[in-house]
Amino acid sequence: MLVLLPPSETKRAGGLGAPWSAAGLRLPELAPQREAVVSALVELSRDEDAAAKVLKLSARQRGEVAVNAALRSSPTMPAIDRYTGVLFDALDASSLDPRARRWLGEHVLIHSAPFGPVGALDPIPGYRLGAGASLPGLAPLRRHWSAPVTSALGDTGSPFILDLRSEAYVALGPVPAGSASAYVRVVTTGADGEVRALNHFNKHAKGSLVRRLAEERPRIASRSAFLHWTEGAGIAVTDGENGELHLTV
């Protein structure tokens, strides 16, 4: 089983690991694409005004330009610890025991804009770049990443892919057609019986789901096996439209 997570705009600063290496991350075949994005981002950061405009930074966020400028030399920390925000706070990876963290490292990829999908325990630096940004001298991120990421996901050999990414990051590398996979949409059912997608609670529910998976470490190799596990775990997951799964909260 392979779980795909979106990143978060908010991140912890600092780190104790050695500087980032493109080949030192999961899916090393994506090293050329990683190098290209990082080079474009570092080059852009030479001009603070231009970088702030491209990255849509407020006056208070301009310090992020210096963070990007130091991408190749700044310290790293595991990706699962770097990201903060609703999803990653609910997952709370730092409080998991070593076996659960190893499970995350083996089964979870976090899809970042500059590095593509990285392993949960892969060391990454702090950065500022969203899926919708367009960097000078580089093709739009969707075109830059989509085909290589899809190919790399197909080469993982995972029997089942659980896609918890936001749609913006799905566009940066769809799961290969024909792969055994399921896209999860978090929904709620109103008093009128209408099923509605959620935003804030969407992220919390996904983080809680991945934490439960890491704690219990079930053997899941198919959609039906995932549904069987969620039923036994008391997690409300049902079949949705177009092959999606609905996680009801």
Distances, alpha carbon 129 to alpha carbons 37, 159, 234, in Å: 10, 31, 37
pLDDT surpassing 80 at residue 198: no
Stretch 195-209: mean pLDDT: 83
- Among 26-30, 89-93, 195-199, the range scoring the smallest mean pLDDT is 195-199
pLDDT at residue 199 tops 90: no
Select the more confidently predicted residue: 191 or 28. 28
CA gap 40, 45 in Å, rounded: 9
And the tokens for 187?
Answer: 């929904």
Is the pLDDT assigned to residue 216 strictly greater than 90? yes
Can you give the pTM of this predicted structure? 0.95
pLDDT at 34 > cutoff 70: yes
For residue 241, name the pLDDT band (cuts at 50, 70, 90). Answer: confident
Count of other CB atoms within 10 angstroms of residue 168: 15
Mean pLDDT value across residues 232-246:
93
**pLDDT confidence of residue 189:** 74
Q: Please report, for residues 15, 97, 141, 145, 178, the alpha-carbon distance to residue 54 in angstroms, rounded to integers and kept in the order given.
A: 26, 40, 13, 19, 36
pLDDT digits 0-9 by tens, 4-22: 999 999 999 999 999 999 9
pLDDT tens, residue by residue, 89-145? 999 999 999 999 999 999 999 999 999 999 999 999 999 999 999 999 999 999 999
Full DSSP string of 187-228:
EEE-TTS-EEE-SHHHHHHHHHHHHHHHHH-----SHHHHHH
Between CA 206 and CA 183 the distance in angstroms is 12
User: Collapsing DSSP states into helix, strand and coil, what is residue 13?
Assistant: coil
